[in-house]
Structure formats: structure tokens, C-alpha cells
Structure 1
Amino acid sequence: MSSPAPSALSSPDVPDEVTNPNPISPSQFSSPKVLTWVAEVWIDPDWYATQESDEPCPSPGMPAVVPLWDQSILVGRRSTSRNIHPQVDCGTDHGVSRRHAQLTTDGQRWFAEDLQSSNGTYVSSAGAPLPTAPIPAGQRVEFREGDRVYVGAWTRLVVRKATPEEQ
């Protein structure tokens, strides 16, 4: 049996630039994204008590932890027919509008903006009483890590740094 003749591509005398004209350098590989922020989505019975909703409040339990990958986060309820897919989906709370609020960050600070929702968006500091006045529609309000953002009939959001386990 005779072996096939070596090709130019397998020849040790041919430089790499010829065999692979577009080599990929390690610096071209993007590093994986690191999760920095999460939102805890809570059912808050105290908030529900102030909202006078006709809907029964679900049983509160542990919060749902939603990773916040983007700098601009839509809070609302999913609607496939309207092509609305919020990053923080509050689908069980019918007091939440489909496009309820926008949370944005510059990497250090967080802002909440009500998107002309039906029931308003409220912000209060951690440990403070429940808020009574919504933020004005279309106005961005800064809030700090751990502050509470209230939407709908029973939903409370807390934005915080991701733990090492969540990263």
C-alpha cells in the first residue's frame, strides 16, 4: 500500500499564515459575562393590604431571584400576542401592567421609571414605611441597593448584588 502524497496544507515547510490565513488569537475569545446584579421578586402581604385588590393574594414564600444581565430591565407581565417579554416577569400579579416600569443602571447606581402603568411604581428605602405616593410617570428616580420597588397588587422587588453562588 502506498500512502497518499503530502499536500501543501500538511507540509511542515508551509508557514501557518498560508495554511490558516485567519488564525484566532486567544484575545479574540470573549470572556464569559459575570452576573453582578439580581432582583428578588417577593409577594408582600403588607403591600397587598394597602392596595385594595379584588384578586386573592397568593401565599408568600421565598422570593424568586431574577438575574439582571442588562443595564435596562423591563418590569411587567408577558404578552406573547403583543411581543412583550419583560426581564422581570410579574405575570401572576394582575395589578402589574404589561410594560409597567423600567429599571436602569450605570453599573453603580439604579434608577426606576414608571412607564405610565395603571397602578404606579413606588420606591422606598429598606426599613422605611410603605410608600404612599407613586413616582411620577416618565421620571427616573434613583434608588439604592436593597431599597424596595413596589408594583401591582402585591409585588415587591429588591435589587441587590449577586452572591458568589449566584454568579
Structure 2
Amino acid sequence: MKIVPQAFVIAGVFAAIPAAAQSPQPATASCSAQGGPAIRVSVVGLQDRAGRLKLELYPATEADFLKDDRDLVKEHKDFARIWAQTPQSGAVNLCIRAPRAGRFAILFTHDRDGKNKFNIWKDGVGVVSGQKIGRSRPKVGQAIVNVPATGTSITIRAQYVSGLAGFSPVK
């Protein structure tokens, strides 16, 4: 199985969730510690500091991007997820481990009501490219990250529904 259970939050609360688990576990190391390549994510443009933040790592294929984690685990495909409480102030920096160097897709969500079910009218979403998502689900090409063995740093701008235009950054 290729579940990546070690994922970490740098600023704010420390929490992690393996793909097959549903409750947070404390992180056991920082993003810079040994344990394989990591993706350090700076999140900008949050609408507010409510709820929880989630990062998910998927295989970099259109067929597997946003696929149910239980199916990915059954198929022995790479998947990782972290959850963190939204820090009340300051920078928002998250870290998720990659199983190895390579190409992956990353999705960020802001679960503003903390219900662990995406609410299109309230919750936020973000991808690496920073492209406006609009009214359709994000495409894998918008979420691709090339992760070297030394790890990488990226910035994701959160987007929220803005009228009929769909998801876009907060103005």
C-alpha cells in the first residue's frame, strides 16, 4: 500500500491523517526532518480563519485526481492527506510528505464549517497553478507538482464561490 501517513503542519496546530484513518494524529517530525521528500505549502488568500485546512496528494493523472481515497488505497496508488486547524493569525504553512521524488497532484481545501463534507457555497479550494477554477472541478494540470528528492515549496491561493463566475480568489 502506498499511503503516506507522515504529513505535517509547520505553523499553527500539528495534525496529520493517513488516508485510511479519520481522526487526527499528532505529527512526529517537522517538514525538514528525514523521511523522504516533502511539499511545503504556503496558503494565501483565506476568506477567514474559521474551520480546518486540508491538503491531499494524488497521483498526477486525470483518472486518479480527486478519486475516492478508498479506491486509490485499494488500487495501491499513492495518496496522502493532512488536516490542520486554521491558525488564528499569521502565515499559513502546511507540509505533506510525498512517497518519493516524482510528479503528484495537490489539492487544498478550506473546510470552513468543520463538517468534513465539501460545501460549494462556503468552503474554499486551491490548486498550485493559481488559475481561476470557475464552475468546474479542478483539472489535474492545474494541480501538478514536481517533487525532487530534496522536497519543494509551493504557494496555493485559496478560492471561494463568487456569484455565477464560480470559484475565484477573494478580492
TM over 0.5: no
Question: Could you tell me the TM-score, scaled by structure 2's length?
Answer: 0.28
Which structure has more strand as a fraction of its residues?
A: 2
Question: Could you tell me the TM-score, scaled by structure 1's length?
Answer: 0.28
RCO comparison, higher one (Cα < 8 Å, 6+):
2
Structure ID, larger Rg: 1
